[in-house]
Amino acid sequence: MPITSTDMRIALFSGNYNYVADGSSKVLNTLVRFMESQGVTIRVFSPTSDTPAFRSVGTLISVPSMPVPGRGEYRIGFGLSGELKDRIRAFNPHLFHLSAPDLLGHSALGFSEKLGVPAVASFHTRFDTYFRYYGAGWVENFSRRKMARFYARCRHVYVPSPSVSRQLVEDGILDESLRVWSHGIERDRFHPDHRDMGWRRAHGINDDEVAVTFVGRLVKEKGLTEYADLIHALEARNLPVKALVVGEGPKRAAMQKRLFKGIFTGHLSGEDLSKAYACGDIFINPSLTETFGNVTLEAMASGLPTICSIATGSMDLVNDGVTGYLVDNDDMDTWVDLSEKLVRDTELRYAMGTAARKASASASYDWSVIMHSLLDQYKEVIGTASQPSRKAG
């Protein structure tokens, strides 16, 4: 008899579930909220902090961990202890869901194989590309080989966009059996109606200024250098722009020094985040490491034209020339020219922002559709649990 949602028990393993607010942690909390609404029993195993960034959803079980060297805001979860393994055995899950090929993910994958419980994985971050931003690009190929062996042992691998799917196959990290698990948008929460001129003025944005917005973690791999260079170039052309930077991270002080005229809000959530998006005029995402680009979709739903790097994730979200522009990161002149075009042309900004808002209404970004599809995938894996898993070659 096929398993029902109310009978299902899932063990979810995450390197960061709530101690830092980023795209993957928000998606995983959305997953747990949905699964619990369907009667699924789920336990989350993750490193924790005494000062979490937000209140998490569901039952969170702390995994021993240590700060990541050089990036102390993140933590490395250790392998599963005997006590944690006993708790997992007592929980008796039907499925392991792994969110990263880190130490915790590898330990959980090995334990799932020992128990004979199928494992699936979701792909959230191009960890292999991060090394190039920290002077260790030579590690990239080694990392890809390790990732490929890890994912080959999983029943399903869920990736967030078709473009990242193609890139991962090309890079030899995944094979053609992967599945696309898109991300959704709360269109009431992110809406042009949240625009508030009082909020803008209170934050130092004049009515005649065009707010050029960046939202995300303030870390090297998010394209901070390109964003700062763009703002300086627009200012050099005497354009009425104001940098609006929403987010927190280790590079905040350096960015504030470079963009001393800009507005830095720090991390925002809830109504404040909704207003920050809608109070912008142009959204910039110069990151080359995105697998989806939640912030870009949130900006689109908020009615902003977007200018993004030609990169995975962004290529699936932005309709070049209609909802915004896609630009090569090495072509700063084009970045500046297109940004100036939008700064000067209010009607074009409105037309592109309206088109972006409309595009965000696609069923591809409907959380209910997306999560019901994932639940069906879970049931499929559990129903075929007696079949051998794929193995790395």
Task: Give the tens place of pLDDT for each residue, 282-315.
Answer: 999 999 888 899 999 999 999 999 999 999 899 9
Rama region for 43: left / alpha / beta (φ>0; ψ in -120 to 50; rest) = beta
What residues form DSSP beta bridges with 179? Answer: 158
pLDDT at 22: 87
86, part of any domain: yes
Residue 47 lies in a domain: yes
Least Cα distance to 51 among 29, 72, 81 occurs for 72
What is the structure's pLDDT at 268? 94
Q: What is the CATH number of the domain that holds 223?
A: 3.40.50.2000
> Is the domain of 53 the same as that of 81?
yes
CA Rg value for the chain: 21
Residues 226 and 129 in one domain: no
Are residues 217 and 325 both part of a single domain? Answer: yes
- Residue 108: inside a domain: yes
Q: Which domain holds residue 61?
A: 5-184+366-383
Mean pLDDT of the chain: 92
If asked whether residues 307 and 224 sit together in one domain, one would say: yes
Question: What proportion of the chain, given as a percentage, has pLDDT over 70?
Answer: 94
Number of domains comprising the chain: 2
Domain shared by 172 and 232, yes or no: no
Please check the confidence at residue 159 and state whether its pLDDT lies above 60: yes
Note whether 206 and 297 are same-domain residues.
yes
Strands in the chain per DSSP E: 9-13, 41-46, 59-62, 65-68, 71-77, 95-98, 119-122, 157-159, 179-180, 210-215, 241-246, 263-266, 282-285, 306-309, 324-327
In this prediction, residue 274 has a pLDDT band, given cuts at 50, 70 and 90, of very high
pLDDT at 388 > cutoff 60: no
- 9 in any annotated domain: yes
Tokens describing residue 182? 């898109």
Residue 75 covered by a domain: yes
**Model pLDDT for residues 301-352, shown as the tens digit of each residue:** 999 999 999 998 999 999 999 999 999 999 999 999 999 999 999 999 999 9
**pLDDT at residue 23 tops 90:** no
- Are 301 and 156 contained in the same domain? no
Is residue 286 situated within a structural domain?
A: yes
Structural tokens at position 58: 């569901």
Decide if 390 is inside a domain: no
For the segment 72-76, the average pLDDT, to the nearest whole number, is 83
Same domain assignment for residues 140 and 163: yes
Q: Is 90 exceeded by the pLDDT of residue 82?
A: yes
Shared domain check, 26 and 147 = yes
Q: What is the DSSP letter of 47?
A: -
Cα maximum dimension of the chain: 69
Tell me, yes or no, whether 393 lies in a domain. Answer: no
Which pLDDT score is estimated for 256? Answer: 98
Average pLDDT, integer, range 39-49: 96
Residues 109 and 255 in one domain: no
What sign for the dihedral angle of Cα 306, 311, 313, 319? positive
Q: Which residue has the higher pLDDT, 93 or 129?
A: 93
Answer whether 265's CB lies under 8 Å from 245's CB. yes
> Band of the pLDDT at 127, cuts 50, 70, 90?
low
Q: Are 200 and 219 within one domain? A: yes
pLDDT for 392 beyond 50: no
Mean pLDDT, rounded, for 70-75? 80
157 pLDDT exceeds 80? yes
Q: What is the 3-state secondary structure (H, E, C) of 72-131?
A: EEEEEECCCCHHHHHHHHHHCCCEEEECCCCHHHHHHHHHHHHHCCCEEEECCCCHHHHH
Do both 170 and 224 map to the same domain? no
pLDDT given for residue 124 in this prediction? 87
**Per-residue pLDDT at 128 exceeds 60:** no
